[in-house]
């Protein structure tokens, strides 16, 4: 096994217990501190892990792995057809 210097690492991954999303829109990470967070799109579900990387300008970028709260429901088959209005004036 080889020892890898810290310059070779480009990311760090945190589990659920090592970070906290604060009310003021900041992300609190253990051993790093608070980072300002611009969230887009909103997080829907339970966050499993978070990976912090640096972009080309050396700004931190957070990637969340999210588990859905509940699976989507499947509608029952009724045998009736449905239509979608695409708003087209000329279909050709």
CA–CA distance, 21 with 35 (Å, rounded to integer): 10
DSSP state of 56: T
For the chain, which residues make up each domain, given as ranges? 10-67
CA–CA distance, 13 with 50 (Å, rounded to integer): 6
| Res. 1: pLDDT tops 70 | no
* pLDDT at residue number 6: 66
The three state secondary structure string of 60-89 is EEEEEEEECCCCCCCCCCCCCCCCCCCCCC
* pLDDT grade for 3, boundaries at 50, 70 and 90: low
């Amino acid at each position: 096994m080889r020892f890898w210097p810290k310059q070779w690492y480009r990311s760090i991954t945190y589990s659920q217990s090592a970070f906290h999303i604060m009310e003021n829109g900041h992300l609190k990470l253990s051993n790093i501190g608070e980072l300002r967070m611009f969230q887009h799109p909103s997080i829907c579900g339970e966050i499993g892990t978070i990976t912090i990387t640096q972009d080309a300008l050396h700004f931190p970028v957070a990637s969340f792995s999210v588990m859905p709260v509940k699976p989507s429901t499947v509608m029952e088959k009724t045998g009736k057809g449905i239509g979608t209005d695409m708003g087209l004036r000329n279909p050709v």
